[in-house]
Structure 1
Amino acid sequence: MVKGPPTSSGSPTGTLTGFDVLTGRAPDPAGEPRPDALAELPLPDKLREVDLTLRPDRERAVDALEIAAYLEADGLNDESLRDRYGAGGLFAAAEWLYAQRGTGRALERPRREARPRFPWELAQRGPLYLLPGLCGLLIAQATPPVTGRAFVFAAAFGWGYSLLIASVRYAEPLGTPGRALRLTLWVGGACGLLGGALSALLWPGSGLWTTSLLWGTAMGGAVALAGAAAGVMLALGERGQVAGAFAPALLLGGMLYVLPSTGLAVAALAALAVFPVLLALRATRDGGELPARFVTLRPGLGLAAYGWALAAAFAGLSLRLGGWTMLPLVLSAGLLEAGVWNAQQGLQYVARQQGSFTLLVRRGAARVLGTALVYGLGLLSLLALLSAVRWLAAGWLGIGTPAPAGAAGPGTLGDLPFSDLSRAALVTVSAFGAALLLSTWLANQRRERWLLAFWLGFCLLLTLGVSPPALSLFAAFALLPLTLFTLYDLRSYR
């Protein structure tokens, strides 16, 4: 046994092992951790991967040199262990791993970190998503009826198309795919023009068909182009620019609501199409690495098709219950995204803290299903509050019940928003919201093909006359098995 260098008092600092001599290491005067102390120290975070891969071999290792041989055989040298894993080198890492041999400390010692914070800043995305639609509605009320049908097509198209835009954005997470996002902008506008023209040809309405065609094409193109521009800016996190982009169109739309005129409607449509596009082009001035070709958009087509099926289901429920009833779902779209984001961050947190696979799945299920439940109950509470306010307002106005639709007058509620809320509407919106959150999380796990078939079936049953509350509850419960099955896939915790 070899003694270490003496300290200032003349006594040795500790006993050197044969491994210390072979590697040319010696305890420094400041007092370096001894091998027995290393067994009690937390393993460095970046060595946890090495710890897990070597654990079966390390249990049978007779000394640290054998561990070093395993590391070197796996292609881990001094440089990689120092730069990538934060170890002092090959022999330093081997000594640390050998000191904890056979204990599985990497699993038993979770990394200490703060729980993920709920991203409240995403909540404002819901009202921002509503801006293109609000501008389109203001313009449609003062223009021929064909523009309303073109608007419905463009709004439904934008729902799914925003998912395609997001997929393009995150195809290059370390840069801004400017050229590819500009391609989504122009393709979205072209689809809006074609859809608006098709709406005008199928339902021309009264007047000259050329006039209907022009109005329908202009409305479809403007709303689709504005929606694509908003999707691009929101994908890049430019929330302030989205609000500023639609300010001119909102101002002209408000003036059009008070003083309808053809010239003002044309100006509002132009403002709706031009200003968001200009700001979207400015936000994508960095070209990025992704090429502006159809092959770049192809991976997102499945998500877009799923989004269009979901938009059709939402539109069907709106026709059955009324658009105002479904408005909280649109306004809380940002909260839904934040809930899905927080649930996924929670899964990653659980995966880093939990070593048992069974407990991991249980805690993951509690995280995802609990988020869906909270979101559904939140919608239920909001609608219940609006319903209570409605009845209180009715009492203050001296009437027992709100007036029926179309009978508005002095002292009545008439067609005020949410004046027709019922128990069926409360159940439908809350259950559909919970199903929507589960569906969004599953879509992030690449289950869009199954979800496409699911929501197409939902639309079919809704068309056949199935009760919206029963169908929404069925949708929420039917998504539970797929959610639990997905949670058994470790890739869901990435």
Structure 2
Amino acid sequence: MSGPLWLVPGDDETGHGRTDTLPRVPRPRRPEWAAPDPIDELAERMHDLIAAAVHPDEIAAIIESDGMNDDQIRLTYGRDSSFALAEELFERVPRHYPEPDGAYLDPWRVSLLACLLRALVFALPGLSFAVGAHLLTGPPDAHGLPAGTVPLLAGALAGWVWNQALAHRAYSWLGLGERRAAARALALGAPAGAVAGALVAWAASSIDQDATGAVLFAVGQAFYLGAATALLVFGRERALLCALAPVVIGAAVLVAYEPPPLVRSGLLLLSLGAAVVLAALTLLRHRAEPRRDGPGPRLVASLPYALFGLATGALVLYTALGDVLRYGTEARVAAPAAVALTLSMGPAEWLLYRYRSRALAGLRAATTAAGFWRATSGALASCLGLYLVALAFLGYVGAVVWPDGPPMDAVRLLGLLALGVVLWIGLLLQAFGAVLIAGVVGVVAALIQTAVLLAGTLSPAAIQLTVCGTAALVLAALGSALLGRATAHR
């Protein structure tokens, strides 16, 4: 033989050199007559999808969406399940994230001005309490609350629960492209919810015998909530803003002049009538669209959203109620915190979109599951921090400029921020379909706050800080864990 079959590292061309190193075994090659590996064929067919995945679970979801079950995978590919096959495909195909052709369009980029307009629409109805103050007069009830407080809060909470579920059902129809069905759901559900809210307020008035004016106000409030829900679902914020103009004018007049009760009631009825008429016209226009056949969303799917509405409504109302119990029988002392929370919904909505935009960017840039979790957790922390800054600013300004309001001390401010964390992360989880988790945590917090408040062992501000602070920590941990998975953002 003239030389070695292969050269060992360190040898020269004659084969002389190191003899203590084992020869490198060449990689075996598949004979030309052998059948191709079906996994190789699958990897080649799904190469782009596999290369862009940041976790094997993404590949498993794609395999299952193609209709392959575990029995077919065992027969065809010799693997136990879609997850086992996905892990092998993930190892065989290297990571590669090609940039899309053309400019990248971020679907979650929205206008901050539009979000602030929606927050203004949410806050302006609060002026109706100032315009309709003549309906809320009378001696305190048996619990020392201002006249009409119980029926007003009961009616508002009932409307909040009903309209959260109704809005979800309407949005579900819109997601299927069924504007006619969404309009039909609102046309039936909004009046039914208004009647239910009015009945709840009337039933709660038995606690306060001298609350006729408050019950009438609560009835108008119930019908306004139904009309506003219909307009907001179809994106008619400007129409709703126009409907609120009489109330805004009435509140502005009250600064320098107190009009007679008849004029004030007329302004309230004018705004209510405008909102109802605009909502009816909007629904009639969409009811005229062609009908499409197909399965619709299940009614039971909207129940978690009603639970979330109950949780958020109760926690926000406790903010106002706690101030009334501590600082006196004048309902206006509770306004700064409630107004701050309402106005903060504008920045909150914009930051929710901002989080989804940054999460999508992280999904495009991350090459590992840990890297994606770090990106989403950082986005969650920064967006939540910006929202808390906005909420603290609004709460402090409201406490300074609002007459006869409670002082914004450290305990009250931290309690308000803790409630803000619960609301913002709850809305974020709701956007990703984890609304049941957010609703359960919120309801448990509301029940605990109710029990402690009735016991009277702590001040309302301390109760809010303790309960909402604990709920905020729980939701923050759940949000980081759930939204740190790439599959949650598909």
Q: Same fold (TM over 0.5)?
A: yes
- Cα distance in 2, alignment partners of residues 320 and 204 from structure 1: 22
Indicate conservation of the 8 Å contact 2:150/2:204, yes or no.
yes
Percent pairwise identity: 18
**Equivalent residue in structure 2 for 1:423, among 405, 410, 416:** 410
2:87 aligns with: none
Change (3 A) 1:51 1:147: same
**Equivalent residue in structure 2 for 1:133, among 126, 132, 137:** 126
2:77 aligns with: none
Q: Which amino acid aligns with 1:166?
A: A
Q: Which amino acid aligns with 2:124?
A: L
- Cα distance in 1, alignment partners of residues 404 and 98 from structure 2: 55
Indicate conservation of the 8 Å contact 1:169/1:236, yes or no.
no
1:305-362 superposed Cα distances (whole Å, 9 cap, x missing partner): 2112211111112223433233211111122122112212332332233332221122
2:109 aligns with: 117
| RMSD of aligned residue pairs (Cα, Å) | 3.5
2:321 aligns with: 319
Q: Which amino acid aligns with 1:483?
A: G
Pairing 1:167–2:163 present: no
**Equivalent residue in structure 1 for 2:388, among 376, 388, 409:** 376
Question: CA offset at residue 242 of structure 1?
Answer: 0.9
Indicate conservation of the 8 Å contact 2:154/2:201, yes or no.
yes
Indicate conservation of the 8 Å contact 1:143/1:262, yes or no.
no
Change (3 A) 1:353 1:337: same
1:11-53 superposed Cα distances (whole Å, 9 cap, x missing partner): xxxxxxxxxxxxxxxxxxxxxxxxxxxxxxxxxxxxx994345
Question: CA offset at residue 169 of structure 1?
Answer: 3.1
Question: CA offset at residue 375 of structure 1?
Answer: 0.8
1:234-290 superposed Cα distances (whole Å, 9 cap, x missing partner): 222211101111223444566689546554354344324321011111222212658
Structure 1 gaps of 5+ residues are 1-47, 57-73, 76-101, 207-211, 391-414
Pairing 1:477–2:473 present: yes
- Cα distance in 2, alignment partners of residues 421 and 126 from structure 1: 22
2:279 aligns with: 280
Give runs of aligned pairs for residues 295-444 of structure 1, distance below 5 A: 298-321=300-323, 322-384=334-396, 416=403, 418=405, 420-444=407-431
Indicate conservation of the 8 Å contact 1:185/1:229, yes or no.
yes
1:63-121 superposed Cα distances (whole Å, 9 cap, x missing partner): xxxxxxxxxxx89xxxxxxxxxxxxxxxxxxxxxxxxxx7646x332446366535302
Q: Secondary structure at the match of 1:108?
A: coil
- Cα distance in 2, alignment partners of residues 143 and 381 from structure 1: 30
**Equivalent residue in structure 2 for 1:235, among 233, 236, 242:** 233
- Cα distance in 2, alignment partners of residues 270 and 338 from structure 1: 33
Q: Which amino acid aligns with 1:373?
A: G
Question: CA offset at residue 150 of structure 1?
Answer: 3.3
**Equivalent residue in structure 2 for 1:185, among 175, 180, 190:** 190
- Cα distance in 1, alignment partners of residues 45 and 488 from structure 2: 19
- Cα distance in 1, alignment partners of residues 50 and 434 from structure 2: 34
Change (3 A) 1:217 1:318: closer
Give runs of aligned pairs for residues 139-218 of structure 1, distance below 5 A: 139-145=132-138, 147-171=148-172, 172-173=174-175, 174-176=177-179, 177-205=182-210, 212=212, 215-218=213-216
1:352-391 superposed Cα distances (whole Å, 9 cap, x missing partner): 333322211221121123211221123224445666x67x
Structure 2 gaps of 5+ residues are 1-43, 53-65, 68-91, 139-146, 324-333
Task: State the TM-score, normalizing by the size of structure 2.
Answer: 0.66
**Equivalent residue in structure 1 for 2:220, among 222, 240, 250:** 222
1:108 aligns with: 97
Question: CA offset at residue 167 of structure 1?
Answer: 1.1
1:192-240 superposed Cα distances (whole Å, 9 cap, x missing partner): 221221122332227xxxxx2xx45432221111122112212222111
Question: CA offset at residue 295 of structure 1?
Answer: 7.7
- Cα distance in 1, alignment partners of residues 448 and 253 from structure 2: 41
1:454 aligns with: 441
Indicate conservation of the 8 Å contact 1:118/1:338, yes or no.
yes
1:395 aligns with: none
Change (3 A) 1:104 1:113: farther
Q: Which amino acid aligns with 2:335?
A: G
- Cα distance in 1, alignment partners of residues 216 and 405 from structure 2: 32
Indicate conservation of the 8 Å contact 1:122/1:335, yes or no.
yes
Question: CA offset at residue 476 of structure 1?
Answer: 1.9
1:42 aligns with: none
1:393-440 superposed Cα distances (whole Å, 9 cap, x missing partner): xxxxxxxxxxxxxxxxxxxxxx71655221112212222212211111
2:26 aligns with: none
Change (3 A) 1:461 1:366: same
- Cα distance in 2, alignment partners of residues 319 and 143 from structure 1: 16
Q: Which amino acid aligns with 1:129?
A: F
- Cα distance in 2, alignment partners of residues 326 and 221 from structure 1: 21
Question: CA offset at residue 486 of structure 1?
Answer: 1.1
Q: Which amino acid aligns with 2:164?
A: L
- Cα distance in 2, alignment partners of residues 178 and 113 from structure 1: 34
Question: CA offset at residue 175 of structure 1?
Answer: 4.5
- Cα distance in 2, alignment partners of residues 179 and 290 from structure 1: 13
1:41 aligns with: none
Question: CA offset at residue 441 of structure 1?
Answer: 0.6
